Amino acid sequence: MKVCPLTDFKSLGLSEQLLQAVAAENHVTPTPIQAQAIPHVLAGRDLVGLAQTGTGKTAAFALPMMQRLAESGKKPQRRGCRALVLSPTRELAAQIATRARAYGKFYKFSVATAFGGVSIGPQRNALAQGVDLLVATPGRLLDLIGEGFVTLGNVEVLVLDEADQMLDLGFFPAIRKVVALVPKERQTLFFSATMPPSIAELSKGMLRDPVQVSVTPAATTAERVAQQVIFADQASKRNVLADLLADETIGRTLVFTRTKHGADRVVRQLEEAGIEAAAIHGNKSQSQRERALGAFRQGTCKVLVATDIAARGIDVPGVTHVINYELPNVPEAYVHRIGRTARAGAEGLAISLCAGDEKAYLRDIERLIRQKIDVLDHPKAVIGGPREPGEQQRPDRRHGRPQGHGHGRPQGVGQAAPAARPQGHGQGRPQGQQGRPQGQGRPGGGQRQGGRPSGQRHSGTR
């Protein structure tokens, strides 16, 4: 479907109350997903939206959903909700609720959240009189339903956000239980960044004659993100990372690991090198996650180390760099990771550290994005045969200027440390370094559940 040629929110058919809310949020021009989805949702159609994070999906479903609910004139029932949004993570649920409250303030739209990691008592109390919109993770929602604190018999609109991440977390059985409890006569909105066969099958069972809108192919990475790879043995990665982050020109940076324990280990290593960092993953309490995100947003901590699961829902402006300390063993996760930078028209750089035993992951990523990633040689990278026989060694680009990205990038992007930098930042072999990627054989394939990184199950993320 082609992008709808609508250039302002008023032309989408939104009410005056919503137009006031949109203006108060300084939204001027609809994003492609908003321009395409809003008219269909206003018309009452079921919808499948293919779009990555950061494309404006929340407004694409929240604005028309609120207008339809307001026009129906119904009131929420006790312990019930009129609209239900299912989210894979706490952070994304909280972010959706925050945006929904802002969009619905002139309607006096009531919004509640339900997710794990916090006391269930306040959530029970918030739902006692019923709400217009409930944003929930599947696990905590089923807990509340099982205890009799939530009923879904009056749901008019059901939204499933980040469906592919739901699959990765093993939430599909819980989703099917929830879907069985909502009325068959409802509007269903289904959003996912990718559409593997299992996702498509789930959508068929949930939606009736849906319209599909797509704003970008699933394999397309952000065009404004320059991408580089540094080949480095596992043992030398800590020194390379510390050297990159010690560069004062590098701004707010997200560092990705495959496991929760790996994220904690990287934070310890950076602190030993004198670099302040915080970790966010499923084993952290909600208060710990909120403190880490708050410090990252405020700039008091410029380095946030995260797993793929926890990173869903992180929407922090001004992220200039994404560093893949470990390459993901699911290539689509790479696209999501680097999409955390270069938002809202800004430039950004993604740097991946690739050990010899991660070469298969790199090949799958390059196959998915349909391009070769520029190689950056780093003085502290120890290389133990990461290249294929006969592969050319590229010249040492000490200032990290990737081919094809000669201008327009953030100042200092990818610069290696000056040769005169004092030694001692993270020297030596990391304690407890786990060098071998989780899982066996080639990564990816089509069975994403089988390729789930170790330690990132849904416990702790509900």
Q: List, in order, residues 6 or more apart from 280 with CB less than 8 Å away.
A: 263, 288, 289, 292, 293, 304, 305, 306, 307, 310, 311, 314
Q: Give DSSP secondary structure letters for 14-26.
A: --HHHHHHHHHTT
* Domain extent at residue 283: 225-375
Confidence band for 438, pLDDT divided at 50, 70 and 90? very low
Same domain, 181 and 269: no
Mean pLDDT for 102-115 is 94
Residue 243 lies in a domain: yes
Going across the sheet that includes 81-86, the strands are 111-114, 131-136, 81-86, 157-160, 187-192, 47-50, 211-214
Q: State pLDDT tens for residues 205-257.
A: 899 999 999 886 544 555 678 999 999 999 999 999 999 999 988 889 999 99
Domain end position, chosen among 351, 375, 399: 375
Residue written as tokens 């540094």? 230
DSSP characters for 247-316? -TT--EEEEE-SSHHHHHHHHHHHHHTT---EEESTTS-HHHHHHHHHHHHHTSS-EEEE-HHHHTT---
Give a yes or no: residue 407 inside a domain: no
Predicted pLDDT at 345: 57
Contacts of 171 (CB under 8 A, 6+ apart): 88, 138, 139, 458
Question: How confident is residue 370, by pLDDT bands cut at 50, 70 and 90?
Answer: confident
Q: Are 164 and 192 a contacting pair, CB within 8 Å?
A: yes
36 and 179 in a single domain? The answer is: yes
Domain membership of residue 255 (yes or no) is: yes
Specify whether 210 is located in the same domain as 86. yes
Residues 245 and 205 both lie in one domain: no
Q: Out of 375, 393, 425, pick the residue that ends a domain.
A: 375
Share of the chain above pLDDT 70, in %: 77
- Are the C-beta atoms of 12 and 30 separated by less than 8 Å? yes
Please give the pLDDT value at position 283.
82
pLDDT of residue 290: 83
Residue 313's pLDDT is 62
Which CATH number fits the domain that encloses residue 100? Answer: 3.40.50.300
Task: Sort 56 into a burial class: Cβ within 10 Å, 0-12 / 13-18 / 19+.
Answer: middle
Domain match, 318 and 205 both = no
What does the alpha-carbon distance between residue 333 and residue 210 come to, in Å, rounded to a whole number? Answer: 27
User: How much is the pLDDT for 220?
Assistant: 55
With a CB cutoff of 8 Å and minimum separation 6, the contacts of 126 are: 112, 113
In a domain, 94, yes or no: yes
Terminal C-alpha separation, the chain: 35
Q: The tokens of 374 are what? A: 């520029």
Do 154 and 271 reside in the same domain of the chain?
no
Higher local confidence (pLDDT), 23 or 390: 23
Q: List, for residues 32-43, the tens digit of each pLDDT value.
A: 999 999 999 999
Predicted pLDDT of residue 14 = 95
Indicate if the pLDDT at residue 270 is higher than 50.
Answer: yes
Mean pLDDT value of segment 265-276: 95
CA 62/CA 41 separation, integer angstroms: 10
The overall average pLDDT reported for the chain is 81
| Residue that is last in its domain, among 343, 375, 407 | 375
The residues with which 280 forms a beta bridge, in sequence order, are 306
Query: In the chain, what percentage of residues exceed pLDDT 90?
Result: 53
In a domain, 230, yes or no: yes
Is residue 280 pLDDT above 60, yes or no?
yes
CA 262 to CA 254: how far, in whole Å? 14
407 vs 24, residue with greater confidence: 24
pLDDT in tens, 294-352: 899 888 999 999 988 766 667 777 899 999 999 998 887 888 888 888 765 567 899 99
Q: What is the total count of domains within the chain?
A: 2
pLDDT in tens, 390-428: 343 343 333 333 333 333 334 444 443 333 333 434 333
* Domain co-membership, 76 together with 128: yes
Q: What is the pLDDT of residues 371-382, one digit of tens each?
A: 899 999 999 888
Q: Are residues 174 and 90 in the same domain?
A: yes
Q: What is the DSSP string of 43-69?
A: TT--EEEE--TTSSHHHHHHHHHHHHH
Is 446 contained in some domain? no
DSSP-based three-state secondary structure for 373: coil
| Domain shared by 153 and 256, yes or no | no
* Per-residue pLDDT tens over the stretch 66-93: 999 999 889 999 999 999 999 998 888 9
Same domain, 287 and 209: no
Q: Is residue 435 part of a domain?
A: no
Beta bridge partners of 375: 229
Residue 403 lies in a domain: no
Q: What is the pLDDT of residue 84?
A: 98
Residues 52 and 178 occupy one common structural domain: yes
Residue 283 neighbours by CB distance under 10 Å: 17
- Note whether 165 and 255 are same-domain residues: no
- 21: tokens are 């809310």
In whole angstroms, what is the distance from residue 34 CA to residue 65 CA? Answer: 12
Give the contacts of 237 (CB within 8 A, at least 6 positions apart): 325, 353, 355, 430
Supply φ then ψ for residue 47, to 5 degrees.
-145, 140
